[in-house]
Structure 1
Amino acid sequence: MGAILSLFVNIFRPIYTPNLYFPIKPAYIQYRKTRGSEECTTTSLRDVVERHCTSLLKEYRPVWWLPGGHVQTGYCVIGDFSKVDKVEYDRKLLRLKDGGTLGLDFTPPANERTLPNDTPIIVVMHGLTGGSHEAYVRSILAPACTPVDKGGLGYRAMVVNFRGCAGTPVTSPQLYSGGHTDDLRQSLMYLSKLYPEAPLIGLGFSLGANVIARYLGQEGNKSRLLSAAVLGCPWDLVKNSERIEGDLFYREVYSKALGQNLLQMLRTNAATLSRVAAPHSPTAQALANALALKKPYLIDFDATWTSVAGATYPPFPLDSAEAYYKWASSAQFVHDIRVPLLCINAADDPIVRDLPIDEVRKNGWVCLAVTQHGGHLGWFESPERGDREAGGAFGLRRWVRKPVLEWFRATAEHLVGEQREVPELYEQDGWTVERGRESLGFREVEGGGKVVGVEGEGGLLSGL
């Protein structure tokens, strides 16, 4: 009955109103009536979304001169967002047991203001070759971390920069891939130690969304994230590859741009990788082969580098890019997610093809919202009247920040999270580890410093 009602509602929605896909059989959660209250009610994910994420029940109309997915996506790359949504960070460096280093960017900076230790923390995973400087990251963190008396949520945020991205030093042969979740896992361990009373809320963009969705499915009710939102998640990397490699236009525009962006990132870190990779190892050979590529398509880069050196543990090295895509796809983990997850995709996204609608309908913890327009991480719209902070020369805003901020407030401030069984942390030989998974661990090391969020990386296409 629930599926029939959902289908009926979606059919008769106005074309610009997002389609919402809810589970057939809901999971029920404990929900505080007010922030900090001990008085709770039992409710469903659908009720939370429909009551508190009202932007998803209203129209999203793209700005008239960016009507389709290609131009929305293109504007992510060519638009000037340097003068809006300014965010500054304090960077902390974590050394991991495998020798790698994570660059964790916190906002607001400590010298800007002091927040209570139980302040909700947004944990961000960025896109393919991005970092904390990306405009799509700042577009949400700027209002989320603005003080309440100035119209924001007053939250804290931490961006997990992929190894080798955004100036994060490379100290091991391991970089990152769309399926590598241990760096997120250890970052959350660090936050749990630093702020044990703070609710942790995930926010993922594109490849980072895939990592968060995989993490949630792998952890189930042991997730350190109380809830999460994933935007532009690629879900099925096999189907996405078939789309962008199988069409001449997509291959020449998207596959080539993504492949060359990854190659530029690898070149930036090549000297360090060549020193830390063991001679004649699969990583060393893959590095030499990848650096010999001229203008690779995405599948060429992934076949040469990511499928071989995407991780330093089994099942790597893999036989092909297709094998990597199959392993890394997050759609296969949707059924195991056990914390509330809001997913937002655009139907005209030129990079993401298939959406896990059937999987969402079978899991009471997941809601999928699909807008008709928005492209890949675009969702640009005209600013509301009186909005003096709108972005770029044309005064645009990203519509998607509205439902995401509503979701943060609804979950970070009201969810009890009683279904989770988060593992204990303890100290072992100078490392902080998690009981039952002692192969992972971290310790903070010197370095880091101030990071200005509008500073990108030379030679890389931003926005994807």
Structure 2
Amino acid sequence: MLTTSEFKPAFWLRNPHAQTLFASLMRSLPPLAVEAERLELDDGDYIDLSWLPAAGLAEDAPLVVVLHGLNGSLESKYARGLLREVAAHGGRGVLMHFRGASKPNRLSRSYHSGETGDLGIVLARLRERYPQAPLAAAGYSLGGNVLLKYLGEQGSESLLTCAAATSVPYDLKTCAYAVQRGLSRIYQAHLINGMREIVEAKIRDGIIEPLPDLHRLRDFPSFDNAVTAPLNGFADAYDYYARASSRSFLKGIRTPTLILHARDDPFMSPDVVPRADELSDAIRFELSENGGHVGFVSAGRFGAPVYWLEERIPSYFRGRLPGFEPAAEDSAVGETG
């Protein structure tokens, strides 16, 4: 179902860039205690997990996996904010750092928008560890694309009870060019710099051979053509975009899934939004006019910022994820920035 979102931006924060930058830069870092785990993989690599403390939780407590965006990590404010809400709802919470996102991984391959194999491995390990716990996942931006692609690939075999995805680049080729226009080029430069740092660290560690002209790769098509595609088994950037985009997988989703998207997302153009006939019956797609990219900042009492995603995603999980209920009326969503 494609429907209109109930999100209303803060009256003082209607611009899409203001929404995006306020949520990522101006918000204070939500405090969060975590326990680290390194999950060793059969191919010799690893994935780092960051767990909420789980003392006193029953074995069947609901478990929510949070998937970060490009250059994201445990330091991503949206991820920490949602994990705090998971704790407030009596759930286990874990952030999955994609391969190479926490520290340079051991192999030449890296995480990317279409890498669903690692997510499948993590979910299978969690299912083995907590066989009675219902599983849910929430993905943001790149992490949302990975999540939706996984759900579409797995269909009725998905290990998840429900899911939520926010600000997803459903069509990677379209987004790669949209972010080159106007002020959006600032985001492109920031993201490319972060990706370049990961590659440079792996070169220093001797994991991959030096790549020529890294600093001349200043847009996504050139970077993905020179780095992402060859390191991950794609013929070129366009092969990567075609095979990794989640849009063509939406029809195959059978898990109840909430998708949140703002029409003014500065990382992409409005035509990236899927049509209603591209969605499966399991999807509830809520489209808002405002919200920016992983912004969705509304206003509370006296205009104080409210991080609406941390209201909407838990409210969707309630009733769909057994045992996921708030411990008290008050939660962590109304903090000031």
Partner of 2:300: 383
Partner of 2:258: 342
**CA deviation after TM superposition for structure 1 residue 269, in Å:** 3.5
Asked if structure 2 preserves the Cα contact closer than 8 Å seen for 1:230 and 1:342, the reply is yes
Q: What residue ranges of structure 1 are gaps of 5+ in the alignment?
A: 1-5, 7-18, 22-55, 147-152, 278-283, 386-393, 416-464
Question: For residues 91 and 70 of structure 1, what CA distance do their matches in structure 2 show?
Answer: 33
SS at match of 1:178: coil
**Counterpart code for 1:410:** G
Partner of 1:263: 196
SS at match of 1:412: coil
**Counterpart code for 1:71:** A
Question: For residues 143 and 248 of structure 1, what CA distance do their matches in structure 2 show?
Answer: 35
Q: Write the mapping of 1:244-283 to structure 2, written as runs, cut at 5 A.
A: 244-245=179-180, 247-250=181-184, 252-272=185-205, 274-275=206-207, 277=208
2:102 corresponds to 1:166: yes
SS at match of 1:410: coil
Asked if structure 1 preserves the Cα contact closer than 8 Å seen for 2:217 and 2:223, the reply is no
2:15 corresponds to 1:68: yes
Partner of 1:404: 313
Partner of 1:390: none
Partner of 1:189: 124
Question: For residues 300 and 102 of structure 2, what CA distance do their matches in structure 1 show?
Answer: 29
Question: For residues 20 and 343 of structure 1, what CA distance do their matches in structure 2 show?
Answer: 10
**Counterpart code for 1:408:** F
Q: Write the mapping of 1:59-458 to structure 2, written as runs, cut at 5 A.
A: 60-82=7-29, 85-107=30-52, 109-110=53-54, 113-146=55-88, 153-167=89-103, 170-245=105-180, 247-250=181-184, 252-272=185-205, 274-275=206-207, 277=208, 284=209, 287-289=210-212, 292-294=214-216, 296-309=218-231, 311=232, 316-319=233-236, 321-353=237-269, 354-361=272-279, 363-384=280-301, 395-413=304-322
Higher Cα radius of gyration: 1
**CA deviation after TM superposition for structure 1 residue 370, in Å:** 0.7
Q: Deviations over 1:5-24 (max 9, x none)?
A: x8xxxxxxxxxxxx717xxx
Asked if structure 1 preserves the Cα contact closer than 8 Å seen for 2:38 and 2:49, the reply is yes
Partner of 1:52: none
**CA deviation after TM superposition for structure 1 residue 80, in Å:** 3.9
Asked if structure 2 preserves the Cα contact closer than 8 Å seen for 1:104 and 1:158, the reply is yes
**Counterpart code for 2:92:** R
**CA deviation after TM superposition for structure 1 residue 257, in Å:** 2.1
Question: For residues 408 and 135 of structure 1, what CA distance do their matches in structure 2 show?
Answer: 20
**CA deviation after TM superposition for structure 1 residue 248, in Å:** 4.6
Asked if structure 1 preserves the Cα contact closer than 8 Å seen for 2:101 and 2:111, the reply is no
RMSD: 2.2
Q: What residue ranges of structure 2 are gaps of 5+ in the alignment?
A: 325-337
Question: For residues 269 and 64 of structure 1, what CA distance do their matches in structure 2 show?
Answer: 45
Q: Deviations over 1:33-81 (max 9, x none)?
A: xxxxxxxxxxxxxxxxxxxxxxx5x4x3222332111211122342142
**TM-score of the two chains, using structure 2 as the length reference:** 0.89
**Counterpart code for 1:357:** R
**Counterpart code for 2:100:** G
Asked if structure 2 preserves the Cα contact closer than 8 Å seen for 1:258 and 1:297, the reply is no
Question: For residues 76 and 259 of structure 1, what CA distance do their matches in structure 2 show?
Answer: 20
After superposition, the Cα gap between the structure-2 partners of 1:405 and 1:384, relative to the gap in structure 1 and judged at 3 Å, is farther
Aligned residues: 322
SS at match of 1:145: helix
**Counterpart code for 2:245:** S
Percent of aligned positions that are identical: 28
SS at match of 1:343: strand
Asked if structure 1 preserves the Cα contact closer than 8 Å seen for 2:297 and 2:305, the reply is yes
Question: For residues 190 and 317 of structure 1, what CA distance do their matches in structure 2 show?
Answer: 27
SS at match of 1:123: strand
After superposition, the Cα gap between the structure-2 partners of 1:359 and 1:236, relative to the gap in structure 1 and judged at 3 Å, is farther
Asked if structure 1 preserves the Cα contact closer than 8 Å seen for 2:234 and 2:240, the reply is no
